[in-house]
Amino acid sequence: MDVLKVGVIGCGAIGREHIKRLHNKLQGSRVVAVMDVFPESAQRGADLVGSDCKIYDNIEGIVNDSDVDALVVTTPGFAHKEPIMAAIKAGKPVFSEKPLATTAADCKEIVDAEMAGGKKLVQVGFMRRYDKGYRQVKELLDGGTFGKPLLAKCTHRAISVDPSYTTDMAVTDTAIHEIDCMHWLLDDDWTQVQVIMGADTKHAHEGLKDPQIMIFKSKKGYTVILEVYVNSNFGYDINCEVVCEEGVINLPAPAYPTVRKNQMISTPIEQDWINRFIDSYDVELQEWIDDTKKGEVNGPSAWDGYIAAVTADGLVASQTSGVMEDVSVGETPEFYR
Ligand code: NAD
Ligand code: ISE
């Protein structure tokens, strides 16, 4: 196959970003069809491609179009399961943005359907595994010279969120990145998780608890402390520091020039995920295109999506209970080893 012909389901913010990179930027793919529940959103997606892009208003149509080789799902998290299940049923590869689905039960259905089909088809958009900075942190940790990791401190801040963002989404939409990424970096599984709520910012909309502190305990005894603060009002600020026996590894925000002017030293801060992770999305989707053409899935799997969702379920339970909740994933099936 020379060119992978892709159908994109969900033409919102990241859907349009991925359409542009799949159609114009990356090697070996074209977007041939789009689908959205809102016709004007679907049209905006199609306009990025040109007049020969097909527009669908239903999932069955785009998934079963014989011109579509593979699917990219960029609907909101609550609407991932249906298109992923349809793609598995049609035997087509599918890349889904994170989370795989918003509950462990829904993710398990996806895992079971994929295993029943006997072929790996699903990849999840945990793009931090493709980020240059996070990859360097992983190399340093795996290199062994820093000794045993002891604890990590992470921040995940955004400027603001819209009123459809609910308290549980601090876990299922936002912290889901650290749930996966820190498990991958530390090469360990979570056993217990807790959410601590505190003072809420006046910038949060009615009913939203923000910020939230999340605590993760791992099998090997590591502790991760994560601040999720999605109405910071100043910028998009992703940080990670791993404290090890022999030293500390700190991943700061990628550098901008520091300027001295008007009796001040200042440096800009990223405003959103689009630029902060632009290279990661490119590497992630280029590898997905290349692997898909070879009939392989080598990126984060449906099982990775499932174990993240089991952890997320624990955190969401702790948002209400306030106590440490146990996380238990079980053995990785042979299919995903
Ligand atoms: P968005 O709200 O901007 O866009 C979602 C689009 O999906 C909208 O056009 C909406 O009309 C459409 N849609 C909703 N329900 C649908 C359905 N059932 N079928 C078809 N279309 C439907 O959201 P977004 O910010 O683009 O986020 C989309 C997904 O991407 C989410 O899962 C989000 O978590 C993920 N995301 C990931 C990253 C990342 O850094 N990896 C960044 C942003 C968003
Ligand atoms: C968004 O959906 C993303 O996935 C971004 O990477 C994340 O930082 C943000 O919190 C989410 O809302």
137 C-alpha to ligand 1 centroid (Å): 29
**Mutation choice for ligand 1 from 48, 71, 74, CB with most ligand atoms inside 8 A:** 74
Chain center to CA of 148 = 27
CA 164 to chain centre: 19
Alpha helices (H) in the chain, listed in sequence order: 13-20, 39-47, 59-63, 81-90, 104-117, 132-143, 169, 176-186, 273-276, 278-293, 302-321
Q: For residue 1, what pLDDT is reported?
A: 82
pLDDT of residue 58: 98
Helices (H), 171-300: 176-186, 273-276, 278-293
In angstroms, the CA 24 to CA 324 distance is 47
CB atoms within 10 A of CB 20: 15
HEC secondary structure over 268-287: CCCCCHHHHCHHHHHHHHHH
**In terms of Cα–Cα distance, which of 109, 125, 128 is closest to 117?**
109
What percent of the chain is modeled with pLDDT above 90?
98
Specify the residue with its C-alpha closest to ligand 2, atom 10: 174
**Cβ burial, residue 323 (10 Å; 0-12/13-18/19+):** exposed
Q: Whole-angstrom Cα distance, residue 290 to residue 276?
A: 24
Q: What's the pLDDT score for residue 236?
A: 97
Separation of CA 334 and ligand 2 centre (Å): 31
CA 77 vs. chain centroid, Å, equals: 10
Ligand 2 centre distance from Cα of residue 67 (Å): 31
Q: Are 7 and 66 in contact (CB under 8 A)?
A: no
Residue 49 CA to ligand 2 center (angstroms) comes to 25
Distance CA 315, CA 176 (A): 10
The closest residue, in CA terms, to atom 11 on ligand 2 is 174
Distances (CA, A) of 134 to 90, 181, 182, 187, 280: 35, 8, 10, 13, 10
Residue entry with tokens 């089909």: 117
Q: Is 130 in the pocket of ligand 2 (CB under 6 A)?
A: no
3-class SS of residue 157: strand
Q: What angle do CA 103, 105, 107 make, to 5 degrees?
A: 70
How far, in Å, from the CA of 10 to the mean position of ligand 1? 6
Residue 141 CA to residue 242 CA, distance in Å, equals: 9
Q: Would the CA dihedral through 70, 300, 175, 26 be positive or negative?
A: negative
Q: Ligand 2 mean position to 172 CA, how many Å?
A: 10
Q: How many CA atoms lie within 13 A of 110 on its CB side?
A: 33
Ligand 1 pocket list (CB less than 6 A): 9-15, 35-38, 41, 74-77, 79, 97-98, 125, 127, 173, 273, 277
pLDDT at 94: 99
The tens-digit pLDDT sequence of the chain (337 residues) is 899 999 999 999 999 999 999 999 999 999 999 999 999 999 999 999 998 999 999 999 999 999 999 999 999 999 999 999 999 999 999 999 999 999 999 999 999 999 999 999 999 999 999 999 999 999 999 999 999 999 999 999 999 999 999 999 999 999 999 999 999 999 999 999 999 998 999 999 999 999 999 999 999 999 999 999 999 999 999 999 999 999 999 998 888 999 999 999 999 999 999 999 999 999 999 999 999 999 999 999 999 999 999 999 999 999 999 999 999 999 999 999 9
The pTM (predicted TM-score) of the whole model is 0.97
